[in-house]
Structure 1
Amino acid sequence: MRLIAVVLLGGMLGILNSTMVAVAIDPLSKEFDASITTVGWASTGFLLAVTATIPFTSWAVDRFGSKRMWIIGLSLFLFGSLLSALAWNAESLIGFRVLQGVAAGVLDPLVLVLLARGAGPARAGRVMGLMGVVLSLGPVLGPVAGGAILEGMSWRWMFLLSLPVGLVALVLAVRIVPADPPRGSEESQMRLDVLGLALLGPGFAVLVLALSQSADRGAFTVWQVLLPLIVGVVALIWYAVHALGVRRVPPLIDLRLFKNTSFTASVTVMTLSGLATFASLFALPLYYQQLQGHGTLAAGLLVTPVGLGAALAMPLAGTLSDKIGSRFLAQAGAVVAALGGLFLASVSATANEVWPSLAALVMGLGLGFVGAPTMGSLYRTLPMHLVPQGSSVLYMLNQLGAGIGIALVTVILKTVGDGDVLKGIHGVYWFAIGTLGFLLVATFFLPGRITAPPTAAAPAGEEPQTVPASS
C-alpha cells in the first residue's frame, strides 16, 4: 500500500500540470505581452513532449530499470517546474514546459508499470481503480487548482507548489520503490531501436498537433492541420513496416501485441473512453460560461462531477473486476454513461445547475465503471515483461483519443451549432453517445475472469487462458 501511495503521489504531478496551465493562457499572454496563440504552446508543447517521450520510456525501463527511470523522471520534472516558475518570456516558458513534458512522458506510463508489477494479475483491477481516481480527477482539478491559484497569487506559484510535493515524492521513492535490475543480458535486446524512436513518438506527436490545430481553427481542411496529419500518418505507416520487418534490434513497440484480442479490445475501449470523456470536459464549461453566464472558476467547479463520478466508481469497479471479470462491468458502465449523456444532449439553457451536474455525475460514474476494469484486464492479459510496451500503447492512444475528442467538439460546435451554442452542445453529446455505442461493441471482446496469470515467457501475441466471467 505504501508503494501505491508513493507512485500515485508522483504520478499526480504530471497529470495536474498538464491541465493547470490551460486556465492561465490569458493572464500569461498579458504578463509576457505575447499572443494567446503563442502562449498556448506552453500547453501544446507539454502535450507533444509527453507523447513523443512515451515510446522511449518503454525501452528505457528494460534497459535501466523502473526505479531508476522513476527517480530520473521525478528529478527532471522538479527541475522543469523550477525553471518554468523562473521563466522571463513566453519562449522560455514554452521551452521549460517542454522539459516538463519530457519528464511527464517518463512518469505517466511508469505509474502503470510500477502499479501493475506491485499488484500482480490477481489485484490488477483494484490497483488500476486507485490509479483511475488520479486519472479522473486530474483533468478537472487541474483547471480548478490553476484558477484558485491565479485568484490570489502569482502565476509562478502554479509551478512552485509542485516543488515541495515533488521533493516528498522523490525522497519516498528512493526509500520505498523496489529496485529492479534491467531485464535481459543479450546486447541485441538492450539496443535502442533508433529508427523506431524517430518515427513512433514524433508520429503520434504530430497527429496530436494536427488535432490541436484543428481545434484552434475549427476546421480539418486547412494546411496547418493537413500537413502534420499527413506527416504523422506516413511516420506511423513507416514504423509499422519497420517494426514488422526482420532485423537484429527489437522494435520499440512490438506490433504483435495486437494479435492478443483482449489487449486490442482494452486499448480500443480506453481510446474511445478518452474521446468521450474529453469531449464532455471540453463542452460542459462552454455550457456554463456561454449559456448560464458563470465565470471561469465557477464553470471549472461545476465540471468536477464528471471526474468525481469516475473517481468514486473506479475503486469499486476495479475491485469487482478482480472477482467477476471486466466485460459485464464495462458494458454496464457504457450504458450508464450514455444515459447521463442523453440528458445533456437535451438540456435547456435555463436548466437549474443541479440537473446537468447530476447528469455529469452519472456520466462520470459510468465512465469509471468502464475505465478501471478495462485497465485491469489489460495488465491481467499481458505477460509482465510486456507491461511497459502495453502501457506506452495505452497512453499514446488515450492521448490521441483525447485530442480527437477536443478537435471534433470544436468542429461540431461550428458546423452543427452554426452560431447556436446550445444546439452545438447537444450535438457534442450526441457524438459522445455514439462513441459510447462503439465502445459498448468493443467491450464484448474484453476477457472474462483469468484462471491463470500470464507467464513471462508467453509470446507477445499469445492469449492467456481465460474462462467467461461469471456475469
Structure 2
Amino acid sequence: MDGPPSEAAGGGGLDRGVLAVAMVVVLGAIMSILDVTVVNVALKHLTEDLDASLEKIQWVATGYTLALATVIPVTGWASARFGTKRLYMISIGLFVIGSALAGLAWNAESLILFRVLQGLGGGMIMPAGMTILTQAAGPKRVGQVMSIVGIPMLLGPILGPILGGWLVDDVSWRWIFYINVPIGAVALVLSARILKRDQAQPAERLDFIGLLLLSPGLAALIYGLATGAAKNDFGRTDVLITAIGGAVLVIAFVAHALRPSNENPLIDLRLFRRRAVASASGTLVLFACSVFGAMLILPLYFQQVRGESAMASGLLLAPQGFGAMVTMPAGGKLTDRIGARKVVIAGLVLSILGAAGFATQIKPDASYWLIGAALFVMGLGMGMTMMPTMSAAMQTLSHAEVPRASTGLNILQQVAASIGTAFIAVLLTNQLKSEGLGGGGGGEGGGQTLPTNLPADVLQGILKKMSDAFQHTYWWSLVLLVVAFVPAVLMPRHRVDPSATDAGPVEKQHVPMH
C-alpha cells in the first residue's frame, strides 16, 4: 500500500514510509563507514597472513579511501542521470561484490584491487542515501532524517575497532569483508521493495572536464596528506608533488565550475554562495578537522601510554557513541523546530567541554571514568553538531538541488577528515619529537613499543612526556572547535520556511504490506 505523503502536515514526526527508507539508507551507510575503521585493526594480521610488508598492506586502507574520493564527485550527476534508487542499488551491489572478493583474496595485490572495487561502490552509498532520504522527508523534517543518517557516521569509528578486533582475534580477518555480504544482500532486497521508482534525466550531460579535474585532484590531495601523516614527513618529494598537484587540480575545478558559461557543472558550487550553505559548510569543515583528528589519536593514547589492546581501546571509546545516541534524535527534531543555529552552537559548546577534558586529563594514570565522561560529553556535542550542520544547508535547497549539494557536502567532509587527521597526527609527532621521544604518533597504529625492562622511574618519565604530547595536541583540536563558532553564528537564525524553497512535490514511498 502507499504510505501517506512524506511531508506530513506541520512537519511533525517521521511517518512509517520515511522510517522504512531511513532503515534502508542506514544499512548501506553502516557497511561503507564501518569498513573504513574495521580494516585498520587487521593490518598487522594481513602482513603476516599474506606475507607482505606493512607499507604494501597499507594500500588496503589507502586504496579504499582513494577510490571513495575518486567516485564521490560523480554521484550528483549519476543520481540525476540514472535515478537515485538505481544508483544506490548499483553502489551497494559493487560494494558487496568487492567485499566477497576481498574475503577470497589470495595475496596483497588482489586484496588491494578488490578494496578499490569496494571503494567505488562505497563512495556513492552515503551521498546517494542522503539524497534519497532528504527528498523523501521534505525540507520540514530534514533535521530528523539527517540525524538518522548520522548514527552510523558517528558510531562507525567507535564500533569499527571493536568489531574488527573481535573478528581478527577470534574468527578470521576474511570475515571483516564477508560480514558485508549478508548486510548488503538485505539492503538490496529492501531497496528494491521500499524505495520509490525515480525518474532519470537522460538529457543531462556529464561535466567531463570537471570530472577530470576534481576526481584525480581529490585522490592526489588525500593521498598526499595520508602519506605525509603515515611517514611523519610532509617534506618528502612524493608527498609535496601529490598534495600540491591535487590542490591545484581542485582549485582549477572550482574556477571551471564557477564559470558563467558552465551551465551544468559536476558540482554546483554556486549553491555555496547562499549564506546557509556557506556557513554550514565552514562549520562542517572545521568541526570535522577537529573531531576526526581527535578520534585518531585517542586510541593511540590508550595503546601507547596505557598499554591497551586495539579491541580494548575501541571499547573505551564507547561512551562517545552513547553520548551521540542521546542527543542525535533530539538534535534533529530541534533543528526542524527552531532552526539549526541554536542547536549547532549548543553542540559546539559541549564538544569544546569534551575536548577541554582531553586537553587537561590525558595523563599516564588518568582515571578512565574521567576520560569516559569527557568522551560522553564530546559525543553529546557531536550528536548536536554534525548532522544539524548538514541539515542547515539541505533545508534551503530545492528537490532538484539536493543530489549535487549532498555530493558537495560529502566531499567537504571527506577532505576535512583527511586534513584533520593529517594535521593532528603531524602535531602529535612533532610534539613527541620536542619531548625527545622521536616520531611515533602518526599513521595507522603508529607509535613506538616501549622496552619492558626499563626502570620504573624511567618508564614513568617517558609516559609522562608522551601524555604531555597528547595533551598539547588536544589544545589545537580545541582551537579548531572554537574557530568553528564563527561560521556557526552566521547560520540562519530561525527555522527555514520550506515554502520559500522550490521543494517541489514530495513523492510517496511505497511500503509493501504482507
| TM-score > 0.5 by shorter chain | yes
Pair 1:169-2:183 in alignment: no
Equivalent residue letter for 1:440: F
Residue 248 (structure 1) shift = 6.5
Task: Describe the superposition over 1:401-420 as per-residue Cα deviations: whole angstroms up to 9, x where unpaired.
Answer: 11112112221112223223
Question: Do the aligned residues in 2 keep the contact of 1:333 with 1:366 (CA within 8 Å)?
Answer: yes
Where structure 2 has 5 or more consecutive residues not aligned to the other structure, the ranges are: 1-18, 438-464, 505-514
Residue 258 (structure 1) shift = 1.6
Separation in structure 1 between the aligned mates of residue 30 and residue 355 of structure 2, nearest angstrom: 28
Note closer, same or farther for the CA distance 1:155–1:452 as it changes in structure 2 (3 Å cut).
closer
Separation in structure 2 between the aligned mates of residue 249 and residue 270 of structure 1, nearest angstrom: 27
Separation in structure 1 between the aligned mates of residue 213 and residue 430 of structure 2, nearest angstrom: 34
Task: Describe the superposition over 1:234-284 as per-residue Cα deviations: whole angstroms up to 9, x where unpaired.
Answer: 111221222233546611012211211110111221122211221221111
Equivalent residue letter for 1:446: M
* Equivalent of residue 199 in structure 2, options 181, 199, 212: 181
Residue 167 (structure 1) shift = 0.5
- Structure 1 vs Structure 2: percent identity of aligned residues? 39
Equivalent residue letter for 1:171: V
Task: Describe the superposition over 1:331-379 as per-residue Cα deviations: whole angstroms up to 9, x where unpaired.
Answer: 1111111111112101121012111111011111112111122121111
* 1:366 corresponds to: 381
Equivalent residue letter for 2:404: Q
* 1:94 corresponds to: 112
Question: Do the aligned residues in 1 keep the contact of 2:26 with 2:149 (CA within 8 Å)?
Answer: yes
Pair 1:32-2:50 in alignment: yes
Separation in structure 1 between the aligned mates of residue 303 and residue 258 of structure 2, nearest angstrom: 49
Residue 207 (structure 1) shift = 1.0
Q: Secondary structure at the match of 2:385?
A: helix
TM-score by length of 1: 0.93
Separation in structure 1 between the aligned mates of residue 476 and residue 283 of structure 2, nearest angstrom: 16
* Equivalent of residue 440 in structure 1, options 485, 488, 491: 485
Residue 454 (structure 1) shift = 4.7
* 1:349 corresponds to: 364
Pair 1:324-2:338 in alignment: yes
Task: Describe the superposition over 1:152-211 as per-residue Cα deviations: whole angstroms up to 9, x where unpaired.
Answer: 11111111111111111101100001111014x6x3xx1111111111122112111111
Separation in structure 1 between the aligned mates of residue 478 and residue 84 of structure 2, nearest angstrom: 39
Pair 1:244-2:235 in alignment: no
Q: Secondary structure at the match of 1:393?
A: helix
Q: Bigger shift: 45-54 or 415-424?
A: 415-424
Question: Do the aligned residues in 1 keep the contact of 2:256 with 2:262 (CA within 8 Å)?
Answer: no
* 1:56 corresponds to: 74
Question: Do the aligned residues in 2 keep the contact of 1:279 with 1:428 (CA within 8 Å)?
Answer: no
Equivalent residue letter for 2:302: Y
* Equivalent of residue 122 in structure 1, options 123, 140, 158: 140
Residue 51 (structure 1) shift = 1.1
Q: Which has the larger radius of gyration?
A: 2
Separation in structure 1 between the aligned mates of residue 390 and residue 143 of structure 2, nearest angstrom: 7
Pair 1:45-2:91 in alignment: no
Separation in structure 2 between the aligned mates of residue 18 and residue 228 of structure 1, nearest angstrom: 22
Q: 5 Å matches for 1:255-404?
A: 255-347=269-361, 348-404=363-419
Question: Do the aligned residues in 2 keep the contact of 1:334 with 1:366 (CA within 8 Å)?
Answer: yes
Residue 457 (structure 1) shift = 8.1
Tell me the number of residue pairs that the alignment of Structure 1 and Structure 2 aligns. 454
* 2:496 corresponds to: 450
Separation in structure 1 between the aligned mates of residue 500 and residue 191 of structure 2, nearest angstrom: 28
Where structure 1 has 5 or more consecutive residues not aligned to the other structure, the ranges are: 459-471
Question: Do the aligned residues in 1 keep the contact of 2:350 with 2:378 (CA within 8 Å)?
Answer: yes
Pair 1:220-2:234 in alignment: yes
* 1:6 corresponds to: 24
Pair 1:137-2:155 in alignment: yes
Residue 217 (structure 1) shift = 1.6
* 1:192 corresponds to: 206
